[in-house]
Chain A
């Protein structure tokens, strides 16, 4: 945790966190404060351009795009962060156990991971979305089906490396049990790596959700996920490009913010390890 303050010094982290904080504020406040509802249709206001009342314009149903975009950003954030955190939890537990366990257990556990990874998970996820119907819960489930494997591999690698070190042997000599050694001695050393990977997981989850919504199997209209907005707007993009570009911009900036933070953290952790 003392490393947190070091991250702020990194310029990429600063940039990313600033954008992120701004977006979170907008995502929370705009739907509450705005006089327009994200779902109410008003034919009279169709396809307007940008104006002070409608900073992003309106869509073909007369809905205010500004409100819809920030409502959608909120959904993306919720799905992204929740999905990433769940994936990380599964991954850390799975990887920790596999890394510390004996050869046979490790082999079986890793084979399972290999098999899961062998198939493009999005294929499964799309099918699952069709079966379960689209909702925030099912999207998160879809993300978690195989999103945890990378974290599991990374944690397993680290734990395997650490369990051979003398301090791990010394802990065994004090009579501590395996779970205790993993939790108190080994995983604390992997904290930094886990945090960085978690921060990389969030934009991947956001991407997955947007992708699914764009394809039409994710969060469906009239709810406003960023992917859905882009999907609705793309058919009119030649005439009203703004309707598509605004949600795209917000989506890209959101993902970018997380990548900046993650890349910055990676840099800082690399420096700590070198020096």
Chain B
């Protein structure tokens, strides 16, 4: 048990380290300086750069940054006066987390049910319809879906609010926009795996034992078919995280995504770095958890650890 967990956590730590390093050097390589906007004279620019420590050798800056990171200090925003990056994250994080969680839940539940339906239905009409729906869901990019939903259901029909995130109703359109693509993927995986597993011999044996079809599906088939879906949750988290950039911008939601997009337009170094590192770490952690869960769920792996 221990070996697998340790190895996986080690990979996670290495990923985080690489994330931090690459982000740091990339941000520092961006052309221009954050203080170049507007009518700032060269002297003032130089003075500000010195105050923020930007004129020190790069490696020294890197070291300082790492040191601060250990203490949980992500620095101060260059653009928003005196605001700590951690403050911004603290404020924006719950919103994005809620959106992401709801989107994953929707994708997992709706996708699974759609997939099972698609695999079991005998009507060619429904099968074709679901298949087309699936392909459409994969094809429409999340920002396009968000804009369309906003236009039709928000503006034209007025059923849903178009900005802010105050009441549960505000969640509907953004969550749907985010969840469209993952739902389609889950449905496709589920449908394929379900059909594969349902044709396997242990299902025939289960029928021969006189088990009811519903019991066979939920006790036997799903146990095997669900694993790849669970595996997908890792990449899905990454996809949703980046999806939040566009969805939050379009729906004017004060989450991490919107802060990130703003930070990029403003060339706000510390914000960009802090947000990137935070979001990247969250995704790494989610991937880690999913991997461990999958490993534990598989009795073959579990058995080999119990013996070791």
Contacts and interface: CB of A to CB of B under 8 A. Distances in A.
Interface in B253-274: 261, 264-265, 272
Contacts of B265: 216
Interface in B146-174: 147-148, 151, 155
Interface string A192-223: 00000000000100010011001111000000
B135 A126 contact: no
B230 interface: no
A21 interface: no
A118 B141 contact: no
Interface in B112-150: 131, 135-136, 138-144, 147-148
A260 B136 CA distance: 9
Given A118-B12, A118-B284, A252-B144, A241 B151 contact: yes
Contact of A130 (B30, B144, B235, B261): B30
A115 B284 CA distance: 9
Question: Which of B138, B235, B241, B272 counts the most chain A CB atoms within 10 A?
Answer: B138
B194 interface: no
Given A111-B11, A211-B143, A256-B136, A120 B22 contact: no
A230 B151 contact: no
B250 A234 contact: yes
A255 B139 contact: yes
A128 B26 contact: yes
A120 B135 contact: no
Contact of A234 (B14, B18, B147): B147
Given A115-B14, A130-B30, A259-B138, A123 B144 contact: no
Nearest to B138: A259
A119 interface: yes
A215 B144 contact: no
Interface string A227-269: 0001000100110010010001001100110011001000000
Nearest to B245: A215
Contacts of B148: 248
A230 B147 contact: yes
Given A234-B250, A252-B139, A255-B141, A133 B31 contact: yes
B11 A115 contact: yes
B280 interface: yes
Contacts, number: 112
A22 interface: no
Interface of A is mostly: helix
Interface of B is mostly: helix
B89 interface: no
Contacts of A133: 31
Interface string A9-29: 000100000000000000000
A119 to B, nearest CB: 5
Contact of A211 (B141, B147, B235, B284): B141
A53 interface: no
A118 B135 contact: no
A134 to B, nearest CB: 12
B140 A252 contact: yes
A114 B261 contact: no
Contacts of B280: 119-120, 123
A62 to B, nearest CB: 23
A171 interface: no
Contacts of B283: 118-120
Contacts of A128: 26
A183 to B, nearest CB: 30
B246 A211 contact: yes
11 contacts: A117-B287, A118-B11, A118-B15, A118-B284, A119-B15, A119-B283, A123-B23, A234-B147, A252-B139, A255-B138, A255-B140
Interface of A: 12, 111, 114-115, 117-124, 126-128, 130-131, 133, 203, 207, 210-211, 214-217, 230, 234, 237-238, 241, 244, 248, 251-252, 255-256, 259-260, 263
Given A118-B284, A120-B242, A127-B23, 19 more contacts: A115-B11, A115-B15, A118-B12, A119-B18, A119-B19, A120-B283, A122-B238, A122-B242, A123-B242, A123-B280, A131-B29, A131-B30, A211-B142, A214-B246, A215-B245, A234-B250, A255-B140, A255-B141, A259-B139
